[in-house]
Amino acid sequence: MRYTVRHRHVRQLVAAAQRTAGVEFARFPRWFKALPADIDVSNCIHRDDGLVLLYAGISPSKPSSVGVASKQNIRRRIKLHYAGDASVSTLRKSLGCLLSEELGIRLRRVGPTERMKFGEGEGRLSEWMAHNAFVSWIIHPEPWLLEDELIETVHLPLNIDGASGPFRPTLRAARRAAVATANELPVIAQ
- pLDDT tens digits, 61-85: 777 788 777 777 667 777 777 778 8
pTM of the model: 0.81
The confidence score (pLDDT) of residue 23 equals 46
Q: What is the pLDDT averaged over residues 86-106?
A: 94
Alpha carbon 116 to its chain centroid, in Å, reads 16
The DSSP bridge partners found for residue 112 are none
Any idea of the CA torsion for 171, 27, 8, 72, to the nearest 10 degrees?
Answer: -90
Q: What is the pLDDT averaged over residues 99-122?
A: 94
- Is residue 3's pLDDT more than 50? no
The confidence score (pLDDT) of residue 151 equals 79
- Is residue 5's pLDDT more than 50? no
Q: What is the pLDDT averaged over residues 130-135?
A: 90
Nearest alpha carbon to residue 94 among 183, 34, 179: 179
The DSSP bridge partners found for residue 116 are 109
pLDDT tens string 12-57 = 434 444 443 444 555 567 899 999 999 999 999 999 899 999 988 7
The confidence score (pLDDT) of residue 27 equals 58
* Alpha-carbon distances of 88 from 81, 91, 149, rounded to whole Å: 8, 9, 25
The confidence score (pLDDT) of residue 51 equals 93
